[in-house]
Chain A
């Protein structure tokens, strides 16, 4: 389809493991956002890319979280030494311009046992 694609849709891992979550934005969209949504809460901002560079990473909770977008298209959110508190749905969104409407993917549900 032409929407934002996120993989995997579900990921179960053990505490302490490394996890990668992938986001494939809508073709041509220059801006890409990662959010985290805990159960019963609204999405919380993690990081925003404009092109290849992180324009705002103020939402990353600590240095275990890292995200890249090396070619200005696909982005990967990387979580090291996962903790049970990292369990959440990780949402990706893209927009055509920096001020344009955000289009969200269906999310990647991460469960840390």
Chain B
């Protein structure tokens, strides 16, 4: 079945560092791809998405490009802030069907 694999955490960076969190997926065809973020004490919220190959999703300085050749959707940010500390989840979805999540990557940014 469909699955999502994320780079293992935890990831610890200093403020203003460059961030990459790797995500690859296994699926037949081209599902929509998502990054969700869970800040401490809050519910999951959508960070960005891409619905077809070569699309780039972006929000709050984060970007991810849907690469069908490598079945990847890596999350990047050029300069992280302490407020970016959270757990990040990569996910895929087919139309109206369920979201399938990766295991999550905990990110901690030190001042």
A25 at the interface (CB under 8 A from B): no
Contact with A along B55-76 (1 / 0, CB 8 A): 0000000000000000000000
Known: A33-B98, A102-B99. Contact between A107 and B104, CB under 8 A?
Answer: no
Closest chain A CB from B41 CB (angstroms): 8
> Which listed residue (A40, A45, A106) contacts B103, Cβ 8 A?
A40
How many A-B residue contacts, CB cutoff 8 Å? 48
Bound-complex Cα distance A78 to B95 (A): 28
Contacts of B95 in A (CB 8 A): 98-99
B101 at the interface (CB under 8 A from A): yes
**B contact residues, range:** 10 to 19
Contact between B45 and A45 (Cβ–Cβ < 8 Å)? Answer: no
Tell me whether A56 and B89 are in contact (CB under 8 A): no
Instruction: Determine the main DSSP class of A at the interface with B.
Output: loop
User: Are B43 and A45 in contact, CB atoms less than 8 angstroms apart?
Assistant: no
- Asked if residues A4 and B43 are in contact (CB atoms below 8 Å), the reply is yes
Interface size in chain A (residues, C-beta < 8 A): 24
Q: CA separation between A41 and B38, bound complex, in Å?
A: 13
Q: Looking at chain B's contact residues, is the secondary structure mostly helix, strand, loop, or mixed?
A: loop
* A31, closest chain B residue (CB): B96
A104 touches B96 (CB 8 A): no
**A42 and B102 in contact (CB under 8 A), knowing A104-B43, A105-B43, A107-B43?**
yes
Q: Please tell me which one of the listed residues A42, A59, A105, A106 contacts residue B89 in the complex, with CB atoms under 8 A apart.
A: A42
User: How far, in whole Å, are A48 and B43 apart by their CA atoms in the complex?
Assistant: 18
Q: Which residue of B lies closest to A93 (CB)?
A: B44
Nearest first, the 6 A-B pairs at minimum CB distance are A42-B101, A98-B96, A104-B44, A45-B98, A104-B43, A106-B43
A residues neighboring B (CB under 8 Å) = 3-4, 31, 33, 40-45, 48, 56, 59, 91, 93, 98-99, 101-107
B residues with a Cβ closer than 8 A to A are 4, 41-46, 89, 91, 95-104
